[in-house]
C-alpha cells in the first residue's frame, strides 16, 4: 500500500481549500469564521455541519463526524486514504510521487539541499565584505538590516561562476545546479555559468520556510530589473506567494491579507507594521493563491499604483473570474457557495495609492498612516471595475450610454453571486439612468449563453441538493403553481413569507419570487438564486409541465387559508400584548379594550371562515 510523507500531505493540505472541497457536496453559508450547512452524513433540518477554512477541518455537531479534507473525501466518496490523497493532489495540482519511488523523493530532497546551500551562500555573501555594495543599496532603500535578515536577503556576487565553484566544493554537480534553476549551460562553449550575478536576492520560501526559488533585483541600470528563478519541481508559479511564511501569522491576527507587487514593497510594508503583506510574484493572481490567503484571512486587499489601478484591477478580476470558471468546470465550486457567498462580500478589494507612488515610496515619504488610510478606503474589486466601465463612457450621449450599458451587463454576467450582482445592477442602473431589471435580464442572458458554452456536463447527483430532504408535496405544488401561473403569483405572493416554507431550496425560490419585480419571467430567477442546488431545483420545477385546472378556485381557496393563518397569528399577537399590558399595569385601558374587541371580532371571523358561514 502506498504511503505518503508528511511533507507531501502538508503540501496538499496547503493547496486545498476545505470550504471549496466541501461546497461541492454541501450548500455552505458563512457563519462568522466558519461555514455551515446541512450535514451530508446524517439527515437534519437545521445546519449543524461546520467547516473551518483556517483550520482546514469539518465537524458535525449533530452526528459527530469530523476531519480534514482527506477525511471528508474518504467519507463522502467512500475512498481509501491513498485514493483520497491522490484525488486531492490531482485537483490541487500537487505533484505526487505515485509510487513512492526513492528516485523521485531523492531528487526533491536533493533540490531542497541545493537551494538551502545556495541560500546560505548568498546570505553569507551579502553580509561579508564583498556584499558592501548590496548592503549600501539596502540601506539607501531604507530597509532595516533586521528586516533584511528576517527575510533572508542575499547577494549574488559578480562574475560568472561564484556559485558554481562554491557548490563544487560542497559536492553539488553542475547538472544539479541547472535543475535547481541556479545555473545555465553556456551558449557557444562547454560548461555552465551562474544565473544570478551582481544582484540583490530575495529568497522565495514555501510554507515550511524552505527556500524554493529566488527573485533577483538589479542594483543599477542593468536589465532586466528583476530576474527570477524558472519553474522547478519545487517552485510552481501561481501556487506561491512571496513572504507567506512570514506573513501568515499577521494575516491571522488582522484577519486581512495585503497583496503588493514587488519584493521591496512587501519588505517595507512589514517594516512599517503591515505584517499581513505578501507579494504576488508576477502579475497573474490565481485562484490557488486566493485559496491560500483565505486559509488565514477573510479579506484580501490588492494594492495598486494610481496610474495602473484600473487596468490591473480589470485584468485581475478577469483572471479571477476565468480561474473560477475553469475550476467550476473541473467540478469545484469556489464561486457558487465559496468565496463570494456573503452579501456584498467579494474576497478581493482594491486599494489605490496616491498618484506617483508605490507602497515602498509612499511609506518612505509619508509613513504608515498614509498606507493605512488607503487600505481603509479599499473597495470591492467588482465595484471598482464597474465604476471604471461607467466612467470611461460619455453618459450624456445615447451611444455612450448604450456602450456603458453593454459593458456593465457583461461584467454583471460574470458575477457568480446573485445578491452581489443585484446590488451592483441597482447601483449601475441608477448611474446609467436605466431600469435595473432590464440590465439584469441582459446580464443573465449573457451568463446563460456562456454557461451553455462552458458547462460540459449537467450537475449530477453530486450537487449539494442531495443534502436536502425531499420537499413536501404541498410545498412543491405551491411553488409550481406560483412559477407557472401568473394569477397565482398575483393572488398569493402578498400572503406568503419565506418562513412559511420549510424546504430550504423552495424557500430560496420563494424569496427570489417575492423580490422579483412584477412581470419578470420565472426563468429569469435563475441568476437570483444563491447556489447550484437551488438552480437545479428551480430548473426541475420549471420543467414540470402540468395541466392547471380551476386555477381561480385553487387560488381563492388558498387565499382563504392564508387569511385564516394570518388572523390566527394576529390573535396570538394580541393575546400576548394584552397579557403583557395586564401584567405591567398599563394604564392604556381604552386601547386595551379596543384590542380586546378587535380580538373577539377576529376570532368570530376565523370561526366563520373555518365553518364556512
Question: Whole-number minimum distance, CB 49 to Zn ion, in Å?
Answer: 6
Q: What pairs with residue 228 in β-bridges?
A: 215
CB nearer to Zn ion: give 37 or 216.
37
Angle between helices 381-391 and 398-413 (to 10 degrees): 160
Question: Whole-number minimum distance, CB 508 to Zn ion, in Å?
Answer: 22
Which grid coordinates belong to 74?
Answer: 474518504
CB nearer to Zn ion: give 18 or 411.
18
Are 571 and 602 a contacting pair, CB within 8 Å? Answer: yes
Question: Whole-number minimum distance, CB 62 to Zn ion, in Å?
Answer: 4
Chain centroid, CA 380 distance in Å: 12
Question: Binding to Zn ion (CB under 5 A): which residues in 62-81?
Answer: 62-63
CB nearer to Zn ion: give 65 or 284.
65
End-to-end CA distance of the chain: give it in Å, rounded: 77
Question: Whole-number minimum distance, CB 64 to Zn ion, in Å?
Answer: 7
CB nearer to Zn ion: give 39 or 317.
39
Q: Which is it for strands 277-279 and 299-304: parallel, antiparallel or unpaired?
A: unpaired
Q: What kind and span of H or E run contains 350?
A: strand 348-352
Tell me the window of 57-65, 161-169, 235-243, 554-562 that interacts with Zn ion (CB under 5 A).
57-65
CB nearer to Zn ion: give 13 or 59.
59
* H runs (alpha helix) in 455-550: 473-484, 486-492, 504-515, 532-543
Tell me the window of 60-68, 232-240, 417-425, 452-460 that interacts with Zn ion (CB under 5 A).
60-68
Query: Which of residues 14, 26, 38, 60 is near Zn ion by CB under 5 A?
Result: 60
Question: Whole-number minimum distance, CB 75 to Zn ion, in Å?
Answer: 10
CB nearer to Zn ion: give 45 or 565.
45
Cα dihedral across residues 228, 103, 89, 209: positive or negative: negative
Are 244 and 289 a contacting pair, CB within 8 Å? Answer: no
344 conformational bin, left if phi > 0, alpha if psi -120 to 50, beta if neither: left
CB nearer to Zn ion: give 40 or 53.
40
Tell me the window of 54-62, 73-81, 445-453, 561-569 that interacts with Zn ion (CB under 5 A).
54-62
CB nearer to Zn ion: give 26 or 134.
26
SS3 assignment, position 83: helix
Which grid coordinates belong to 555?
Answer: 387560488
Question: Whole-number minimum distance, CB 73 to Zn ion, in Å?
Answer: 16
How far apart (Å, rounded) are the C-alpha atoms in residues 571 and 40?
40
CB neighbours of 443 closer than 8 A, spacing ≥ 6?
A: 408, 409, 410, 412, 413, 415, 421, 425, 527
Question: Whole-number minimum distance, CB 27 to Zn ion, in Å?
Answer: 14
* H runs (alpha helix) in 94-181: 102-127, 132-140, 145-150, 162-169, 174-179
Q: Which is it for strands 49-52 and 57-60: parallel, antiparallel or unpaired?
A: antiparallel
Residue 430 interacts with Zn ion (CB under 5 A)? no
CB nearer to Zn ion: give 45 or 572.
45
Are 355 and 307 a contacting pair, CB within 8 Å? Answer: yes
CB nearer to Zn ion: give 59 or 414.
59
Residue 41 interacts with Zn ion (CB under 5 A)? yes
Question: Whole-number minimum distance, CB 470 to Zn ion, in Å?
Answer: 18
Question: Whole-number minimum distance, CB 294 to Zn ion, in Å?
Answer: 24
Q: What is the CA radius of gyration of the chain?
A: 31
The site for Zn ion, by CB under 5 A, has a size of 6
How far apart (Å, rounded) are the C-alpha atoms in residues 279 and 260?
5
Nearest residue to 8 (alpha-carbon basis) of 74, 92, 77, 79: 92
Tell me the window of 37-45, 153-161, 180-188, 524-532 that interacts with Zn ion (CB under 5 A).
37-45
CB nearer to Zn ion: give 39 or 117.
39
Q: What pairs with residue 49 in β-bridges?
A: 37, 60
> H helices then E strands: how many in the chain?
25, 16
Dihedral over alpha carbons 326, 329, 332, 333 (to 10 degrees): 90
CB nearer to Zn ion: give 60 or 492.
60
Tell me the window of 34-42, 114-122, 162-170, 267-275 that interacts with Zn ion (CB under 5 A).
34-42
Give 286's Cβ-side CA count (13 Å radius).
16
Query: Which of residues 39, 212, 244, 269 is near Zn ion by CB under 5 A?
Result: 39
Question: Whole-number minimum distance, CB 60 to Zn ion, in Å?
Answer: 3
CB nearer to Zn ion: give 263 or 468.
468
Q: Pattern of binders to Zn ion over 138-177, x per CB under 5 A? A: ----------------------------------------
Question: Whole-number minimum distance, CB 22 to Zn ion, in Å?
Answer: 12
Strand order in the sheet with 299-304: 277-279, 256-260, 299-304, 348-352, 379-380
CB nearer to Zn ion: give 26 or 39.
39
Tell me the window of 31-39, 86-94, 151-159, 203-211 that interacts with Zn ion (CB under 5 A).
31-39
Question: Whole-number minimum distance, CB 39 to Zn ion, in Å?
Answer: 3
In 3-state terms the chain splits into helix, strand, coil percentages (rounded to 5) of 55, 10, 35
Tell me the window of 52-60, 92-100, 318-326, 368-376 that interacts with Zn ion (CB under 5 A).
52-60
Q: What kind and span of H or E run contains 595?
A: helix 589-611
Question: Whole-number minimum distance, CB 25 to Zn ion, in Å?
Answer: 13
Question: Binding to Zn ion (CB under 5 A): which residues in 504-523?
Answer: none
Question: Whole-number minimum distance, CB 156 to Zn ion, in Å?
Answer: 55
Query: Which of residues 5, 42, 249, 569 is near Zn ion by CB under 5 A?
Result: 42
110 to 10, 113, 114, 257: CA distances (angstroms): 19, 5, 6, 33
Question: Binding to Zn ion (CB under 5 A): which residues in 448-487?
Answer: none
Q: What pairs with residue 378 in β-bridges?
A: none
Question: Whole-number minimum distance, CB 560 to Zn ion, in Å?
Answer: 40
CB nearer to Zn ion: give 63 or 395.
63
Tell me the window of 58-66, 105-113, 223-231, 299-307 that interacts with Zn ion (CB under 5 A).
58-66
What is the binding site for Zn ion (CB under 5 A)?
39, 41-42, 60, 62-63
Amino acid at each position: 500500500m502506498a504511503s505518503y510523507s508528511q511533507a507531501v500531505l502538508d503540501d496538499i493540505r496547503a493547496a486545498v481549500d476545505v470550504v471549496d472541497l466541501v461546497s461541492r457536496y454541501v450548500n455552505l453559508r458563512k457563519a462568522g469564521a466558519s461555514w455551515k450547512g446541512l450535514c451530508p452524513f446524517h439527515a437534519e433540518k437545521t445546519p449543524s455541519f461546520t467547516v473551518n477554512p483556517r483550520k482546514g477541518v469539518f465537524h458535525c455537531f449533530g452526528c459527530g463526524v469530523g476531519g480534514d479534507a482527506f477525511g471528508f473525501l474518504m467519507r463522502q466518496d467512500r475512498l481509501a486514504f491513498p485514493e483520497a490523497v491522490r484525488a486531492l493532489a490531482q485537483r490541487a495540482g500537487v505533484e505526487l510521487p505515485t509510487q513512492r519511488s526513492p528516485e523521485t523523493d531523492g531528487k526533491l530532497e536533493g533540490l531542497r539541499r541545493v537551494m538551502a546551500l545556495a541560500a546560505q551562500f548568498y546570505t553569507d555573501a551579502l553580509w561579508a565584505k564583498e556584499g558592501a555594495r548590496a548592503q549600501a543599496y539596502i540601506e539607501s532603500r531604507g530597509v532595516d538590516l533586521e528586516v533584511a535578515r528576517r527575510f533572508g536577503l542575499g547577494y549574488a556576487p559578480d562574475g560568472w561562476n561564484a556559485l558554481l565553484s562554491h557548490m563544487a566544493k560542497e559536492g553539488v554537480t553542475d547538472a544539479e545546479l541547472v535543475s535547481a534553476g541556479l545555473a545555465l549551460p553556456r551558449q557557444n562553449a562547454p560548461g555552465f555559468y551562474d544565473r544570478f550575478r551582481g544582484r540583490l536576492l530575495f529568497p522565495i520560501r514555501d510554507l515550511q520556510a524552505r527556500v524554493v526559488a529566488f527573485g533577483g533585483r538589479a542594483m543599477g541600470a542593468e536589465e532586466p530589473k528583476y530576474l527570477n528563478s524558472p519553474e522547478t519541481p519545487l517552485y510552481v508559479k501561481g501556487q506561491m506567494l512571496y513572504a507567506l511564511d512570514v506573513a501568515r501569522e499577521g494575516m491571522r491576527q488582522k484577519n486581512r491579507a495585503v497583496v503588493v507587487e514587488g519584493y521591496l514593497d512587501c519588505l517595507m510594508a512589514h517594516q512599517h507594521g503591515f505584517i499581513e503583506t505578501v507579494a504576488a510574484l508576477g502579475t497573474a493572481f490565481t485562484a490557488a493563491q486566493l485559496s491560500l490567503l483565505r486559509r488565514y484571512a477573510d479579506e484580501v486587499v490588492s494594492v495598486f499604483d494610481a496610474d495602473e489601478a484600473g487596468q490591473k484591477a480589470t485584468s485581475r478580476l478577469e483572471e479571477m473570474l476565468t480561474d473560477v470558471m475553469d475550476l467550476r468546470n473541473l467540478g469545484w465550486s469556489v464561486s457558487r457557495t465559496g468565496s463570494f457567498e456573503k452579501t456584498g462580500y467579494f474576497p478581493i478589494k482594491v486599494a489605490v495609492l496616491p498618484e506617483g507612488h508605490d507602497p515602498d515610496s509612499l511609506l518612505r515619504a509619508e509613513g504608515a498612516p498614509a498606507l493605512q488610510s488607503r487600505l481603509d478606503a479599499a473597495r470591492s474589486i467588482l465595484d471598482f471595475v464597474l465604476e471604471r466601465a461607467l466612467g470611461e463612457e460619455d453618459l450624456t450621449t445615447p451611444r455612450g450610454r448604450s456602450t456603458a450599458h453593454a459593458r456593465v451587463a457583461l461584467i454583471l454576467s460574470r458575477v457568480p453571486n446573485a445578491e452581489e450582482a443585484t446590488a451592483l445592477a441597482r447601483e449601475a442602473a441608477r448611474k446609467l439612468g436605466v431600469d435595473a431589471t432590464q440590465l439584469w435580464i441582459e446580464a443573465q442572458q449573457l451568463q446563460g449563453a456562456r454557461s451553455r458554452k462552458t458547462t460540459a456536463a449537467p450537475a449530477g447527483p453530486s450537487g449539494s441538493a442531495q443534502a436536502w430532504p425531499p420537499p413536501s408535496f404541498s410545498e412543491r405544488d405551491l411553488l409550481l403553481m406560483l412559477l407557472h401561473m401568473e394569477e397565482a403569483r398575483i393572488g398569493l405572493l402578498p400572503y406568503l413569507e419565506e418562513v412559511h416554507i420549510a424546504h430550504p431550496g423552495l424557500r430560496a425560490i420563494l424569496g427570489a419570487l417575492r423580490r422579483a419585480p412584477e412581470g419578470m419571467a420565472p426563468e429569469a430567477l435563475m441568476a437570483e438564486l444563491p447556489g447550484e442546488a437551488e438552480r437545479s431545483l428551480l430548473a426541475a420545477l420549471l420543467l414540470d409541465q402540468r395541466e392547471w385546472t380551476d386555477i381561480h378556485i385553487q387560488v381563492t381557496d388558498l387565499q382563504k387559508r392564508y387569511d385564516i393563518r394570518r388572523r390566527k397569528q394576529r390573535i396570538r399577537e394580541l393575546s400576548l400584548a394584552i397579557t403583557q399590558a395586564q401584567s405591567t399595569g398599563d394604564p392604556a385601558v381604552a386601547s386595551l379594550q379596543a384590542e380586546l374587541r378587535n380580538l373577539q371580532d377576529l376570532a368570530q371571523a376565523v370561526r366563520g371562515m373555518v365553518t364556512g358561514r
